[in-house]
Chains A and B, each alone.
Chain A
Amino acid sequence: MKLSLGPLQYFWPREEVFKFYRQAVTWPLDTIYLGETVCSKRRELSTRDWIALAEELAASDCEIVLSSLALLEAESELSALTRLIENGRFQVEANDMSAVQLLRDRGLPFIGGPSLNVYNHVTLRLLCEDGLQRLVLGIEQGRALVEEFRASGEPLPELEVIAWGRLPLAYSARCYTARALDLPKDDCGFRCIEYPDGLALKTRNEQAFLTINCIQIQSSEHCDLAPEINELAAAGIGLLRLYPQTEGMEAIVTRFRQAIDSGIPPQRVGKENGYWHGCAGMDQVTPTSGQT
């Protein structure tokens, strides 16, 4: 199995982004996804900047992929998407059907991101006809779906699974960070830059529940599929996706790399992902963590 660094979901200052990725190329990663997938108003890096960063990082051994926005509303966002797709060098992760169509128009192969709704083998076959070469499974989809994909007898593209990080649960037109700060979205002041790992949302009985990240809602917990490493390999998963966070990313990458290379599942340090086991995402399925 290969290791990928998923696109940065949060909004970080420009220099922090460059610093993070210049370190990331030295970590034992196979693939790095770059680009803004959450909010088009975030402009510490423009589309051109992301492409330039891709060019710079491509000098390493890592495969570089450019990720597209998950929710497009305005014409200007489609123009930016077209610029991303017409970069002339790097594959694109299509995170909505607009991207699929623009890639298909140009006959370009692509990677299907986790916010595309691919729930069955027929959908997957049609998207492969459109040029899909790798699918990042949606968050709801676990081992059973992968087995059903295989049982269908259809040729499958390479499969990637979110193995570390907060699960992206929902997208809206509304900015919840701006709402929490009592600001209108059109005059948000880009305040999500103050929450480089998102803004915590707790229940009224103090249970950590969700994370607000601009127009996106994430789980509160970091899912951790490292203990399931052998199960993932046996299911034929080609890549494990790790989502960036401000602290300790190198150690997270290294821990997964060691687990893959040794075949020894490590103790769980994040939360179990119930979805992989066919349950609710927040369910804890196995009684003792660290066991597989």
Chain B
Amino acid sequence: MDLICPAGNLPALKTAVDQGASAVYVGFRDQTNARAFPGLNFTDSNLQQGVDYAHAHHSKVYIALNTYPDPAKIGHWQKAVDHAAELGADAIICADIGVLDYATRQHPDLPRHLSVQASATTHAALRYYRERFGIARAVMPRVLSLQQIERLCERNIVPIEVFAFGSLCIMVEGRCQLSSYVTGVSPNRHGVCSPAKFVRWDEEPDGVRSVRLNNVLIDRFQPNEPAGYPTVCKGRYEVGGEVFHALEEPTSLNTLELLPQLQAAGVAALKIEGRQRGLAYVGTVTRVWRQAIDRLEAHPDGWTPDPAWQRELSAHAEGHQTTLGPYHRSWH
């Protein structure tokens, strides 16, 4: 199984490569990718250095071009596809049919991966993208159970990549307009969820901190209560007279204990979320998952997750909590 790791900048890319990533996924510094955060992502020269570094160390670079361009802007996305090819990227990760079509025609030899943002959850949907655009791999939305992943792999339409670790989108990727509805800035179109410029923290006289997104109250925190980055889906709201995390708690996906099952299912690649995270996260998470995969491949029988691995991963999890997420039925 390949290990696909995130990098928001050149040092993170080098760290991921050094710690054993099979491939690193990155984005340009604009709205063509789904982590279009200020200060994040790659300039041209950085990315060329990154590709050279990865290739010199037998690793690969995938470029995410996984947002949806408006008609007036599609030319910019097409240039980004050309650019990815010129830089020697090993694959591009796309969601938009228009972008995929352009890449298929202009750069047939540049492998195309279907982004999680395309929301393809069945073998029929995968067949569409394979027949139309010859996709070489598909990243599955974080909604399928382990059994559903197994079934999909059995169909053998395209190699399957699944999310293994990191912050958890609980809505089907590519089909969540919660942040867009509140701010007008859309993950699909602008590549950002819950943009920082719309976030406002206030401290009330009693020490309670409140956080708003474009003036909508997302949550309140007691003075000693840990508070993560506010997204609509991880706020606390009132439903039926009770206040709770009505959609999801601040928690991270961690599938480490499912590793043998994911391998047995025939999953081709495991993806680590977190291009917006720092060097320590990228380094630790890549190293732990590399060790776990290597040990599984060397000793497939009796593999168990090392408690030290889980401790290290939990330290980097959102809210220091982890979940098996949708892979486990009880999460649903």
Contacts and interface: CB of A to CB of B under 8 A. Distances in A.
B96 A120 contact: yes
A174 B170 contact: yes
A190 to B, nearest CB: 15
Q: Which of B68, B69, B122, B176 has the most CB of A within 10 A?
A: B122
A113 to B, nearest CB: 12
The dominant DSSP class at the A interface is mixed
Nearest to B122: A98
Interface stretch (B4-12, B27-35, B53-61, B143-151): B143-151
B302 to A, nearest CB: 31
B128 A100 contact: yes
B176 A179 contact: no
The dominant DSSP class at the B interface is mixed
A203 B217 contact: yes
B125 A148 contact: no
A84 to B, nearest CB: 13
Contact of A122 (B97, B128, B132, B220): B97
Interface in B194-243: 214, 216-220, 233, 235-240, 243
Q: Which of B72, B175, B218, B238 has the most CB of A within 10 A?
A: B175
A175 B330 CA distance: 11
A126 B98 contact: yes
Contacts of B68: 117, 119-120
A202 B188 CA distance: 25
Contacts, number: 209
Interface stretch (A13-21, A69-77, A251-259): A69-77
Interface in B148-201: 148, 151, 170-172, 174-178, 180-186, 188-189
Interface residues of B, number: 70
A113 B260 CA distance: 39
A148 B71 contact: yes
A288 interface: no
Interface in A166-224: 167, 169-176, 179-180, 184-186, 199-207, 209-210, 212, 217, 219
B240 A180 contact: yes
Given A121-B71, A212-B246, A174 B216 contact: no
A26 B151 CA distance: 45
A140 B177 contact: yes
Given A97-B128, A184-B330, A117 B243 contact: no
Contact of B120 (A70, A97, A119, A174): A97
A3 to B, nearest CB: 24
A69 to B, nearest CB: 10
Contacts of B299: none
Nearest to B248: A174
Interface of B: 68-72, 74, 95-98, 101-102, 118-125, 127-129, 131-132, 142-145, 148, 151, 170-172, 174-178, 180-186, 188-189, 214, 216-220, 233, 235-240, 243, 246-248, 326, 329-332
Which 4 pairs between the two chains have the least Cβ-Cβ distance?
A122-B98, A280-B184, A173-B143, A119-B68
Interface of A: 70-75, 77-78, 81, 96-102, 104, 115, 117-123, 126-127, 139-140, 144-145, 148-149, 151-152, 167, 169-176, 179-180, 184-186, 199-207, 209-210, 212, 217, 219, 274, 279-283
